[in-house]
Chain A
Amino acid sequence: MMARPDLFVIGRLLEALNGGRLRRTQLQQRAGVNYTVFQRYLELLVHLDLIKEVTEDEGRLDLTPRGVEAYRFLSEGLSRIFGPVAPSHRT
């Protein structure tokens, strides 16, 4: 397992799947990480039972109920801490 996974990367993967099932490449693109990083995080999230592969839907990936719960936990926690952190007027 990874030494210290990044919560934002985990959050983005879960968030992408929260919108519906995706193929691996689609998920990687939505998460905005390179293939090596994506593979490592995917393995981790499948291992933790947060993401599952749906074999009857051409191997698309989906959130497990635990994954939905994890996404809710992360999105609520992160938006409570970080948003908005910068002043509202920006160029």
Chain B
Amino acid sequence: MAVIAGVQDELRALAIRVRAAAWRSYRFSWFAWGFLVATIAGEGLIVLAYIFLPVVTTAPTPTLGGSYTTFTLPIWVVPLTQTPALVVLGLAIRELLLARREAQGSPLSPYAPHLSAEEAEDPSWTFLVQKAQQRITHAKNETDWSFPPILVGGFVFAELLIVNLLPSGALLFFVVLPLTGALLSVLFWLLYRVARRWIRGYQTLLDRLVGEFATLESEFFWHFVGTQPSP
């Protein structure tokens, strides 16, 4: 039975999974920044709608006998301008959830990139594992840096909806806005935990492999070569 070839196949399968995870984090990062851009663009479109498509209402003032004018937006403007941001945010969250499912053993996407030719052919375990470690570190940094744009975009998005859809007043500023901020923070903290959990799972596994393999290597060299492997 080809024990060692089987072990190498397992290692290669792990390297492919890590490669796919790094790809997911890369896509997550793109969608996260895309969400921020879409939110800001949505805000810009709303300003333009105020300039070019205002709904002007003139009403008489009950006490003074004059009149006052209000500018509002057509009802379809806010939902229309904010839909792209919502879609992109949904895609970002989807990437995170798919990355978690794949880390738990679900089949990989057929679009996920495979190993490079060098990795696929190179028999050296160190190359495969070190490359996987580099990729997971990169994925961690990429994911960490994707949360600030999501957080900022989330606050801009919430502010836009609240200010444009709710009547203004003390309740808005002292209750609705802070409450929304708190809810958004909790939501993003949960997403961050999802992202960190699958990344930490890979890191722990790879670190364990490196440690145990180093022990086996030195035992082998001690027994059969009479020396320790040079670092």
Q: Please list the residues of chain A having a beta carbon within 8 angstroms of any beta carbon in chain B.
A: 3-9, 11-12, 15, 31-33, 48, 50, 66, 70, 73-75, 77-79, 81-91
Contact = CB atoms under 8 A, between A and B. Distances in A.
A10 to B, nearest CB: 8
Contacts, number: 98
Nearest to B3: A75
Contacts of A73: 219-220, 223-224
Nearest to B12: A86
Nearest to A6: B124
B108 A87 contact: no
Contact of A48 (B17, B205, B209, B225): B225
Interface residues of B, number: 37
Interface of B: 2-8, 10-11, 13-14, 17, 103-108, 110, 123-126, 205, 209, 212-213, 216-217, 219-220, 223-225, 229-231
A84 to B, nearest CB: 5
B126 A15 contact: no
- Report, nearest first, the 8 A-B pairs whose CB atoms are least far apart: A87-B105, A86-B13, A11-B4, A75-B3, A86-B14, A77-B216, A91-B107, A82-B7
Contacts of B125: 6-8
A33 B105 CA distance: 31
Given A6-B124, A7-B216, A85 B205 contact: yes
Contact of B209 (A12, A15, A85): A85
A3 B222 CA distance: 15
A7 B7 contact: no
